[in-house]
A and B are shown apart, each in its own frame.
Chain A
Amino acid sequence: MPEQISIFELVANASLLVQLVMALLALASIVSWMMIFQRWFFLRRVANEVNHFEDHFWSGVDLRELYAELEGQDDLTGIETVFVAGFQEFVRLSDQAGAEVDSIMQGVQRGMRVALNREEERLATHLAFLATVGSTSPYVGLFGTVWGIMNSFRSLANMSQATLASVAPGISEALVATAMGLFAAIPAVIGYNRFSAQVEELMKRNEAFSDEVTSILHRAAQARSS
């Protein structure tokens, strides 16, 4: 093997369109890795918060006290907002004279559903981006490769002596685009699958928690009305 062309030389010698494709893929890869790390830290923190709050909630604390304590705070965590939204609705409706148990409970459920939806949105931000990168960047890379190979074969037509050495660099250069596309896509797909599973699990826990809060408040409302 007399000489080996380095990958960097290949990239530097590639045609403009292929270079653009590579730049796009590099950017997509960097941003998707950034999202992966951000989501990773964020979801881990949220899971910790949920654990912490559930422990606190089931430790036998008085719900009114907990509500008063949380209401004063500015930065509520996701599961705390769910609880506060439900309890706020309960307090407001049950303060009105002649409120039915059913209408109180409907209000509580509505308030918590809104908070849950907001929380799901917050958890799932950027996941759409990861999914897009994961599904499209192989195609973008393939596009660069096809374009590069097309050009290298076209220039081959002008040569009188067609050897492997005259096509090989062009093809190798074009294949770098596919490699980059896969490099960007694989972590994005893995990240997307992992994080969407995590979000789903967290949302299930949040929903279960909101159901539990609903049943507790239902009992309280019935006790008050009777």
Chain B
Amino acid sequence: MADALRSYSGPLLLALLVHLAALTALHGGWFPGVEPESRAIKPNLVQSQLIVMQPKAPPKPKPKPAPKPAAEAPKVAEPEPKAQPEPRRNREAERQRKLAEQALEDQRRRLAELAQNSFAQALAEEASELAADQDLSAAQSFRFGIYQRVVANWSRPPSARNGMQARLLVELIPTGAVVGVTVVESSGNSAFDRSAEAAVRKARAFDVPREPDLFERHFRRFSLLFKPEDLLR
């Protein structure tokens, strides 16, 4: 029994290692899709930090000379105990060093704060961009629904020709009901314009997102472009 255990424990360990390696490979961006995301974040952060560093560059020389006296001070201080008669200078050096250290500390803290702020800002920007992207894809699906409804309700007049296009401005209320249709850009053929307008009016209401924010941004007023080719597909 113990013999069997010994002969299987090694292989078991190796087997677990193989799976662990496979898992880390999965996690660590084996997939091409994972990498672009991290790449997209990195440049943002690097850029924002660079911008912050530049105005900070002039004050930087200050702290640099400061630590040098601080570094020299102990050198001075070392021979000092031998020549004890001058404790005052010693104290003076001590005070100067403390001041320099404090200045350095302040500088460092401010720098860290700035870096953190810019980091948080970059994160917020990133998040809002992501949210906007998501909104866009959600809006896209609703837009497709509107397109389908309009197409279903549109009967093309016989006088319609390829190359014509009419732009309509549609106004909705949050329930999705159509409250206004105006021809913004005429096709030059009044029958075609009227048919387009009728298509929207016949639809009466569209599916719109429940989120008021998304609705206000994309669906309160939007324009529809009518082309006769759309129906020929």
Contacts and interface: CB of A to CB of B under 8 A. Distances in A.
Interface of A: 1-4, 6-8, 26, 29-31, 33-38, 41-42, 160-161, 163, 165, 183
B12 A34 contact: yes
Nearest to B22: A183
Interface residues of B, number: 28
Indicate the member of A26, A29, A34 with the most B CB atoms within 10 Å: A34
B120 to A, nearest CB: 20
Given A7-B26, A38-B7, A2 B137 contact: yes
Contacts of B26: 7-8
B15 A8 contact: no
Interface string B9-32: 011101110110010001100010
B130 A42 contact: no
Contacts of A26: 19
Interface of B is mostly: helix
A8 B16 CA distance: 18
Contacts of A2: 130, 133-134, 137
Nearest to A40: B11
Contacts of A6: 27, 34
Contacts of B145: 160-161
B16 A3 contact: no
Contact of A41 (B11, B19, B130, B207): B11
A36 B10 CA distance: 12
Contacts of B137: 2, 163, 165
B37 A1 contact: yes
Contacts of B79: none
Contacts of B144: 161, 163
B10 A160 contact: no
A31 B144 CA distance: 50
Contact of A3 (B18, B19, B130, B140): B130
A196 B142 CA distance: 59
Contact of A1 (B15, B27, B33): B33
Contact of B8 (A38, A160, A165): A38
A165 B12 CA distance: 41
A33 B18 contact: yes
Given A30-B15, A42-B7, A161-B144, 8 more contacts: A3-B134, A6-B27, A31-B15, A33-B11, A33-B15, A34-B11, A37-B10, A37-B14
Contact of A4 (B16, B37, B140, B141): B37
Given A1-B33, A160-B207, A161-B141, A34 B27 contact: no
A4 B18 contact: no
A41 B10 contact: yes
Nearest to A2: B133
A163 B148 CA distance: 13
What 6 A-B pairs are tightest by C-beta distance, nearest first? A37-B11, A33-B15, A2-B133, A38-B11, A34-B15, A163-B141
B163 interface: no
A165 B141 contact: yes
A212 B26 CA distance: 54
B36 interface: yes
Given A33-B19, A34-B15, A38-B8, A161 B207 contact: yes
Contacts of A42: 7
Contacts of B11: 33-38, 41
Contacts of A33: 11, 14-15, 18-19
Contacts of A4: 31, 33-34, 37
Contacts of A160: 145, 207
B36 A1 contact: yes
A29 B19 contact: yes
